[in-house]
Structure 1
Amino acid sequence: MTSLDHERKSRVAVRPLGADDVAWARELSTERWGGVVSVSRGVAHDTTALPGFVALLDGERAGVATYRIAGRECELVTLDSLREGAGVGTALVDAVAGAARAGGAARLWLITTNDNLHALRFYQRYGFDLVAVHRDAVARSRELKPSIPEIGLDGIPIRHELELDLPLDLLGLSSTRSPEC
Structure 2
Amino acid sequence: MDAPAPDAHITVRDAVTEDAPFLREVLADMFGSTMMAVHDELLDATGDAAAVAERDGRRVGLITYRRDGTETWEIISLAVIEPGIGAGTALLGWLRAAAVRQSVTLLWLVTTNENLAALRFYQRRGFDLVRVDRDAVTRARQLKPSIPLEDDGIPIRHELVLELRL
TM (norm. structure 1) is 0.84
Q: Which structure shows the bigger proportion of residues in strand conformation?
A: 2
Cross-structure match for 1:130:
129
Q: For the residues of structure 2 that align with 1:41 and 1:104, how far apart are their CA atoms? A: 25
Any idea what SS the aligned residue of 1:120 has? helix
Distance 2:143 2:102 in 1: 29
Greater fraction helix: 1
Instruction: Give the conservation status (yes or no) of the 8 Å contact 2:11–2:54.
Output: yes
Q: 1:86 — aligned with what?
A: 85
Inter-partner Cα distance in structure 2 for 1:105 and 1:142 = 32
Which segments of 5 or more consecutive residues in structure 2 lack a partner in the other structure? Answer: none
Moved more, 159-168 or 100-109: 100-109
Aligned equivalents of 1:102 and 1:45: distance in 2? 26
Structure 2: distance between partners of 1:156 and 1:9? 32
Q: CA deviation at 1:49?
A: 4.9
Counterpart in 1 of 2:163? 165
Give the secondary structure class of the aligned counterpart of 2:148: coil
User: For residues 140 and 99 of structure 1, what CA distance do their matches in structure 2 show?
Assistant: 33
The residue identity in structure 2 corresponding to 1:34 is G
SS state of the match for residue 162, structure 1? strand
The corresponding residue for 1:172 is none
Question: Cα gap change, 1:21/1:50 in structure 2, threshold over 3 Å: closer, same or farther?
Answer: same
TM-score (normalised: structure 2): 0.91
Q: CA offsets per residue over residues 85-112 of structure 1, 9 Å max, x none?
A: 2110011111222232233321100100
- SS at 1:48 equivalent: coil
Which residue in 2 is equivalent to 1:21?
Answer: 19
Counterpart residue type for residue 158 of structure 2: H
Q: How many residues align?
A: 162
Aligned alpha-carbon RMSD (Å) = 1.5
Would you say 1:75 and 2:55 are equivalent positions? no
Identity %: 45
Give the gaps of 5 or more residues in structure 1: 169-181
| Offset at residue 144 of structure 1 (A) | 1.8
